[in-house]
Amino acid sequence: MIRKEDPLGIPDYGGINYLKMPPGKNSEENTLNEFFGIQNFIKQVLASDAVPEFQYNQRRIEFINYGSTQLVYVLTIDESRQYTLVVNQPATPFGTGKREFENLQSLSKDNKSNVISPLYYFADKNGEKRELYVTPYYYQARCIGVEDKEWGIWVPEPEYLFHDFKPENRKVINSSMVALLVKLYDSKRKMGLSEVRLDGGDFMLEKGFENYDINFENILKRIKLIAARKLETMKFDEYISRIRDELSGKVSEKQEMKVIGKMLRKPLELSEIEAGIKLGLILREREKEKIL
């Protein structure tokens, strides 16, 4: 049951405090103009005849989270259905949202249980370089990441706080993220995920995951990739090698990092990486068996 008072994420009106403006355009006036421009863009999307399920009397928009490239809102319709609106940050190059929308579409086609399935994409009709895409909303989901150099999850309720993983749970959850990186490699196009923020909320766990035994089977049923900035061309062996090196912190910030894009705030343990790779290879074999 949806309740208006339920916290869904960061308690900030509209997300104005989290806008990332282009260089030289971060004045108070420019920021306010961009803020109201985003709100008007969202209203434009909600008024679109292209999405009949949006055309209801009661519609509520709440800002819940942000990232380096996007702002995240939740749309509630008639207090019964909810959607996520992922809006490009002002400083994010136009087209980034569409590329991610298409990447998620491609990945979720054969991995619906572990990749968020995008529903709609919109670009601003007023000539402004704004874009957003719509996905299903998972009520009070927990984003996985690192804060104060510890791995854990951000929990929205009763207040938006970060909770460290219990030591006995960390390996299973972190290894599950690695396993999905391996599983989602596209052998036909020879492309792997790139610029993945394992430490910054690109993977989420459904609320209530902690009510089950924390094992690989249960976590894989409830973990989802919710961002796919880039798909990079590389051979599978190179992809696996980069996962090992980049996630363990064995590369310097001066070296090119394809899978994670930049140094993790806290490297994964070698045992977590190896367990994840092993599990990912098993998952890939299972998929092959289904096809045969």
Residues 94 and 166 in one domain: no
Coil/strand/helix, residue 192: strand
pLDDT of 1 above 70: no
Separation of alpha carbons 255 and 138, rounded Å:
36
Are the C-beta atoms of 224 and 157 separated by less than 8 Å? no
Question: Of the residues 104, 136, 168, which one is the last residue of a structural domain?
Answer: 136
Residues 285 and 156 in one domain: yes
Residues 196 and 279 in one domain: yes
Tens of pLDDT, residues 237-273:
999 999 999 999 988 777 889 999 999 999 999 999 9
Residues 163 and 218 in one domain: yes
Domain residues for the domain of 248 are 142-291
Q: How many domains does the chain have?
A: 2
Q: Does any domain span residue 218? A: yes
Strand 142-147 relative to strand 150-155, pairing: antiparallel
Are the C-beta atoms of 63 and 15 separated by less than 8 Å? yes
Q: Per residue in 225-264, is it b (16+ CB within 10 Å) or e — as a string?
A: bbbbbbbbebeeeebbebbbebbbeeeeeeeebbbbeeeb
Question: Of the residues 136, 167, 199, which one is the last residue of a structural domain?
Answer: 136
Summarize the confidence of residues 35-39 as an average pLDDT.
95
Q: Which of 172, 256, 159 is nearest to 213 (CA)?
A: 172
Tell me 176's DSSP state.
H
Q: Does any domain span residue 11? A: no
Residues 80 and 206 in one domain: no
Token code pair at residue 174: 């972190």
Residues 29 and 161 in one domain: no
Question: Of the residues 79, 113, 136, which one is the last residue of a structural domain?
Answer: 136
Report pLDDT for 6. Answer: 87
The structure's pTM equals 0.94
**230 forms bridges with which residues in the sheet?**
194
Q: Does any domain span residue 171? A: yes
Residues 122 and 243 in one domain: no
Are the C-beta atoms of 148 and 247 separated by less than 8 Å? no
Residues 130 and 158 in one domain: no
pLDDT of 292 above 70: no
Tens of pLDDT, residues 157-169:
999 999 999 999 9
Residues 166 and 124 in one domain: no
Q: Does any domain span residue 223? A: yes
Q: Does any domain span residue 51? A: yes
Tens of pLDDT, residues 187-242:
999 999 999 999 999 999 999 999 999 999 999 999 999 999 999 999 999 999 99
Coil/strand/helix, residue 268: coil
Strand 131-136 relative to strand 191-194, pairing: unpaired
What are phi and psi for residue 202, nearest 5 degrees? -80, -15
Residues 97 and 27 in one domain: yes
Are the C-beta atoms of 236 and 186 separated by less than 8 Å? no
**Domain with 55 in it: what CATH number?**
3.30.200
